[in-house]
A and B are shown apart, each in its own frame.
Chain A
Amino acid sequence: MNGLSISTKKKLVIMGRSGAGKTSMRWLIFSNYTANDTRRLGATIDVEHSMVNFMGDLNLNIWDCGGQHKYLDNYLNEQRENIFGNVEVLIYVFDLETTNKESEYQLYDDCLRNLAVFSPTAKVYCLVHKMDKIPEPEQKELTVESYRRALAKRSEMFQPDVFGTSIWDHTLYRAWSRIVYKLVPNMEIIERHLSNFRRLSDATEVVLFERETFLVVCYTAADADVPLDKYMHISQGIKSYRNACVHVQSRFQSVEVSNKFYSMFIEPFTKSTYILVITTDPEVEPAVTKANITAARPHFSDLAR
């Protein structure tokens, strides 16, 4: 794998009906917006392009497509090649509250048909958005499951991953973490080295976060069964704390927790990442862990380059 040094640019298209929450989602993940702030957002006119530098060498070119009828018609006809060409990832956002499910599926089919023509290798993710409207957890699960079945039938070629999401809880972060996990080049190498780092420094859990979005890039734990969900509220928590730091005209940098039972660090790591390290071994002094993080920094910086 000598693709390490090439800066990669990947096109990511966000599609869905008007008012589904595409733009809210983008602002929440890629800017420091809180869920409340997204009320301020207006309708997206045509396509909004944004370039996001993610993990240093990965540039995400995000196409946020306005969902009004006239634009959608336009995307599917005159502009189809422009919109659906060279797509790396298509994120289709379903509005849970839609009144017309049939036409929603219709549009989805149209999009996939075009995608099959212009970018047959693209990866498709479907987000069933506004899950907060359903109060009971079991009902949520059932709803996502029913979408998953319906969508699997409709899109055999792409086999989309379906996530239930909401801007009000961590589910959106989980979905996006999974999306970027697939996007980051040389992820296996990073993962392997991270796991080595955890072993060498006698840590219990190590998590790598992207610096700006605070999405979980990858993680490793002594207990192999630790679910990804465990770290989701950290992304959210740190981002809201970043907003709070504005009150004292500053920016969040790092945090360190230590007590009788464990010590934890969240620190800037490489140019594009943050690292979280938890140690539960009482023999390992916090200062040692800190020194280890510092020592590992240049190694991981080289890895990302």
Chain B
Amino acid sequence: MNGYGQDGAGPTESGSPGYGSTDKLGEQLAERRVLFMGPPGSGKTSILSVVFEDTVAYDTLGMMPTQQQAAYQMVAGITIYDFPGIDYYSETQYNPPNPAIYEGDYTSLVFVIDSQGDFQNSLATLFSVIRTAQAVNPQLPINIFINKVDSLSEELKQDVHQDMQQQVWKTMRYENLNSAYVQFFLTTIFHDDIREALSRVVQRLVPNHSSLETILNSFCSKSSLDKVFLFDVTTKIYLAMDSSPTDPQIFRFAFETLKAMDDVSQLCIEYLPPSDDGMMSQKVTFDLEGSIRVFVYQVNSYLSLLCVGSTQVIRQKSLLEFNGSKVAKAIRQILPS
């Protein structure tokens, strides 16, 4: 977990241009990794800078094409690698990465496609990547982000989604590729959906994820809460949540709550001692009309539990705080930092 923190969240350049560098890449990469790939200009770097560097979505418009692979550190040793755009048809520029990067049980591929770009070209690139990847790792999760859907109407979004899904499955069947690990997401950097999509990708890589889920489940039921999330506070990506059915709005709400929490605590930043590790046992309660209460309990300097429940339940706040502290302790033990 070296280098994680305010400044560690930024990208660190790794690998150098040229042919020799790719040979060693497979070993250099972190064990738990997400590979961001896709045609040039599909929005890979934009997505990552919005999520990891808090860039305003509008500011990503004039972004330069990524020339070198960049890495973004996350909690629990998960690293997200941003690869330069892959253009299948311009053979001159494209220097395919070493297939070894696809190996490992904790590797996940995100392929970003511009929903308003050249579909056929993007798909050709996608299949060339899948072919290489499945040859080394047949069980590699393949997450397809259909990006830039912000300007599409609700109806058109569904059409694009279906169209893409059918084309991908058809071709995969035809080429005898394994489509069991393929998932589709509609994304845009102008909406929090992108964080939800990333959360679902990252969740599978979280160490001891099933134990975390069990803990959150029991916390949720024992404390009669509606929903519990374990959030990475800097990126606002959730690493785990209890397994009760999720209202799609609730994630958006949870995310906004964390943002409001940041806004509010910004005010007191001067009251924190300068040499602080960020762990200050912070407890935040949001009260809403109609008896909804949100309770955020700090686990360590980068993780927080976010619980949503009704006022009647959380009225016994001290009891909940006690439970929260026990759960936090358990999580600290399970999740190495």
Task: Name the contact of B249 in the complex, choosing from A248, A259, A261 (C-beta under 8 A).
Answer: A248
Residues on B with C-beta less than 8 A from A204 are 271
* B14 located at the interface, meaning its Cβ lies under 8 Å from any Cβ of chain A in the complex: no
In Å, the complex CA distance between A30 and B253 comes to 23
Question: Chain B at the A interface: mostly helix, strand, loop or mixed?
Answer: mixed
Question: Whole-angstrom distance from the CB of A257 to the nearest CB of chain B?
Answer: 5
Q: Given contacts A240-B259, A252-B286, A257-B264, could you give 20 more A-B pairs where the C-beta distance is less than 8 Å?
A: A233-B263, A233-B266, A234-B267, A238-B260, A241-B257, A248-B308, A249-B290, A250-B289, A250-B290, A252-B288, A253-B289, A255-B286, A256-B287, A257-B265, A257-B268, A257-B283, A261-B272, A264-B268, A276-B267, A278-B267
A257 in contact with B284 given A234-B263, A234-B264 (CB within 8 Å): yes
The residue in chain A whose Cβ has the minimal distance to the Cβ of B252 is A247
* B23 located at the interface, meaning its Cβ lies under 8 Å from any Cβ of chain A in the complex: no
In Å, the complex CA distance between A252 and B294 comes to 11
* B292 located at the interface, meaning its Cβ lies under 8 Å from any Cβ of chain A in the complex: yes
Q: From residue 199 to 237 of chain A, which have CB atoms closer than 8 A to chain B?
A: 204, 230-231, 233-234, 236-237
* B273 located at the interface, meaning its Cβ lies under 8 Å from any Cβ of chain A in the complex: yes
Number of residues in B with C-beta < 8 Å to the partner?
32
Binding site for B on A (CB under 8 A): 204, 230-231, 233-234, 236-238, 240-241, 244-245, 247-262, 264, 266, 276, 278, 280
Residues on A with C-beta less than 8 A from B282 are 257-259
Residues on B with C-beta less than 8 A from A238 are 260, 263
Residues on A with C-beta less than 8 A from B287 are 253-256
* B250 located at the interface, meaning its Cβ lies under 8 Å from any Cβ of chain A in the complex: yes
Most buried by A among B250, B259, B260, B280: B260
Residues on B with C-beta less than 8 A from A256 are 284-285, 287
Residues on A with C-beta less than 8 A from B285 are 255-256
On whether the beta carbons of B268 and A258 are closer than 8 Å, the reply is no
A248 in contact with B263 given A254-B287, A256-B285, A259-B298 (CB within 8 Å): no
Binding site for A on B (CB under 8 A): 249-250, 252-253, 256-257, 259-261, 263-268, 271-273, 280-290, 292, 298, 308
Name 30 A/B residue pairs within 8 A (Cβ), A-sorted: A233-B263, A234-B263, A238-B263, A241-B260, A244-B252, A244-B256, A244-B260, A245-B288, A247-B253, A248-B288, A248-B292, A251-B289, A252-B288, A255-B260, A255-B264, A255-B286, A255-B287, A256-B285, A257-B261, A257-B268, A258-B283, A259-B280, A259-B281, A259-B282, A264-B264, A264-B267, A264-B268, A266-B264, A280-B268, A280-B271
Q: Give 8 nearest A-B pairs by CB, closest first.
A: A237-B263, A244-B256, A259-B282, A241-B260, A259-B280, A250-B288, A247-B249, A251-B289
The residue in chain B whose Cβ has the minimal distance to the Cβ of A254 is B287
In Å, the complex CA distance between A250 and B256 comes to 14
Residues on B with C-beta less than 8 A from A241 are 256-257, 259-260, 263
Residues on A with C-beta less than 8 A from B290 are 249-251
On whether the beta carbons of A244 and B264 are closer than 8 Å, the reply is no
In Å, the complex CA distance between A93 and B102 comes to 57
The residue in chain A whose Cβ has the minimal distance to the Cβ of B261 is A257
Task: Name the contact of A262 in the complex, choosing from B250, B268, B292 (C-beta under 8 A).
Answer: B268
Residues on A with C-beta less than 8 A from B288 are 245, 248, 250-253
Residues on B with C-beta less than 8 A from A234 are 263-264, 267
The residue in chain A whose Cβ has the minimal distance to the Cβ of B58 is A168
In Å, the complex CA distance between A240 and B261 comes to 12
The residue in chain B whose Cβ has the minimal distance to the Cβ of A244 is B256
Question: Whole-angstrom distance from the CB of A234 to the nearest CB of chain B?
Answer: 6
In Å, the complex CA distance between A240 and B264 comes to 12
Question: Whole-angstrom distance from the CB of B258 to the nearest CB of chain A?
Answer: 10
In Å, the complex CA distance between A256 and B285 comes to 5
Residues on A with C-beta less than 8 A from B260 are 237-238, 240-241, 244, 255
Question: Whole-angstrom distance from the CB of B274 to the nearest CB of chain A?
Answer: 12
In Å, the complex CA distance between A276 and B308 comes to 23
On whether the beta carbons of A261 and B280 are closer than 8 Å, the reply is yes
Residues on B with C-beta less than 8 A from A266 are 264
Residues on B with C-beta less than 8 A from A251 are 288-290
The residue in chain A whose Cβ has the minimal distance to the Cβ of B289 is A251
Question: Whole-angstrom distance from the CB of B304 to the nearest CB of chain A?
Answer: 12
In Å, the complex CA distance between A251 and B288 comes to 5
Most buried by A among B266, B267, B280, B284: B267
The residue in chain B whose Cβ has the minimal distance to the Cβ of A230 is B267
Question: Whole-angstrom distance from the CB of B164 to the nearest CB of chain A?
Answer: 27
Residues on B with C-beta less than 8 A from A231 are 267
The residue in chain B whose Cβ has the minimal distance to the Cβ of A257 is B284
A245 in contact with B284 given A230-B267, A237-B264 (CB within 8 Å): no
On whether the beta carbons of A260 and B253 are closer than 8 Å, the reply is no
On whether the beta carbons of B250 and A248 are closer than 8 Å, the reply is yes
Residues on B with C-beta less than 8 A from A252 are 286, 288-289
On whether the beta carbons of A240 and B289 are closer than 8 Å, the reply is no
In Å, the complex CA distance between A278 and B265 comes to 10
Most buried by B among A247, A248, A250, A278: A248
Residues on B with C-beta less than 8 A from A247 are 249-250, 252-253, 256
On whether the beta carbons of A259 and B283 are closer than 8 Å, the reply is yes
Residues on B with C-beta less than 8 A from A278 are 267-268, 271
The residue in chain A whose Cβ has the minimal distance to the Cβ of B268 is A262
In Å, the complex CA distance between A253 and B293 comes to 10
Residues on A with C-beta less than 8 A from B259 are 237, 240-241
Question: Whole-angstrom distance from the CB of B229 to the nearest CB of chain A?
Answer: 14
Residues on B with C-beta less than 8 A from A276 are 267
